[in-house]
Structure 1
Amino acid sequence: MKHITFILISVVLFSCQGSVQKDTSNDSSSSLPPIGGVKDKHGCLVSAGYTWSKIKEECIRPWEGTITMNVTDTSTNFETAAFVLMDSLKQKAELFINEEEESILLDSIAPHLYANNNYKLIEENHCWSLIHQEEVLYEEKK
């Protein structure tokens, strides 16, 4: 009987120690980078393909819900696509291209034409083209 009582008391004592929670507030693992990679200055998870959209003012994946245009000269460019996002009022277009570090905003100049000092985005025959210094860099294929 003494052995059974001793075993029961031991089980109770040791099981209580298992429920003690460790204080992790001072744990050095909290200084590790977030799972999935580093975030950019806007908090977008770059390794998951997110980038900041100036039009939407949130992190987006440029290839989702945008116009996709293919590069016209594959001999000088490893990127194969550019992406265009337009605001709901079609007053601005946002370009996501490899040639620039962050997206570029273009203003609506006329129906089917957006431009800034460096780029021109034009729609002809229901397909968009991106022009830089009179050279077509990207074209939409339908």
Structure 2
Amino acid sequence: MKYVALILVSFMLSCQGSVQKDIPNDSSSSLPPIGGTKDKHGCLIAAGYTWSKVKEECIRPWEGTITMNVTDTSTNFETATFVLMDSIKQKAELFIKEEDESILLDSVAPHLYANKHYKLIEENHCWSLVHQEEVLYEEKK
């Protein structure tokens, strides 16, 4: 009985060894990665994830953020942009489709975040995104 068990164990181990040899361990394989393409931070693009500088993790911009709608649909094919505030409300992160990565704005006054190009202003409990004195997006409540 002892010999039968030993033979079975050696047979099973030899089978596993041959299976592992058939699996390519070359990272330059032509097969796409499981789950789709990832960005430089490891965020799964096909699932809608992008890197958040504020949270320092992959997020879906439309989840847990402020959604603002485009004000002029005749000049812009995108209908929304998203804003994420940090927990202490010192930074606002913009997720705008036309930009390659998110944009950070600093708190400069109560209800106002800004950088050189954008202003995020809260008036009457609704946010507006301004670029070159033009309101691009507005929050609808």
For Structure 1 versus Structure 2, the TM-score category normalised by the shorter chain is 0.7 to 0.9
The residue number in structure 2 matching 1:111 is 110
Residues 1-142 of structure 1: matches in 2 within 5 Å? Answer: 20-21=15-16, 22-24=19-21, 26-27=23-24, 31=29, 32-142=31-141
Gaps of 5+ in 2: 1-7
Task: Report the aligned-residue RMSD.
Answer: 2.2
Structure 1 segments, 4+ long, off by >6 Å, are none
Provide the rounded CA distance (Å) in 2 between the counterparts of 1:25 and 1:91.
53
* Alignment length (residue pairs): 129
Deviations, residues 93-130 of structure 1 (Å, cap 9, x unaligned): 00000231100000001110000000000000100000
The residue number in structure 1 matching 2:5 is none
Say which one has the larger Rg: 1
Provide the rounded CA distance (Å) in 2 between the counterparts of 1:24 and 1:137.
57
Amino acid in the other structure paired with 1:74: T
Deviations, residues 15-51 of structure 1 (Å, cap 9, x unaligned): x67x822115752686322222110011111110000
Gaps of 5+ in 1: 1-12
TM-score by length of 2: 0.83
Provide the rounded CA distance (Å) in 1 between the counterparts of 2:46 and 2:21.
27
SS at match of 2:82: strand
TM-score by length of 1: 0.82
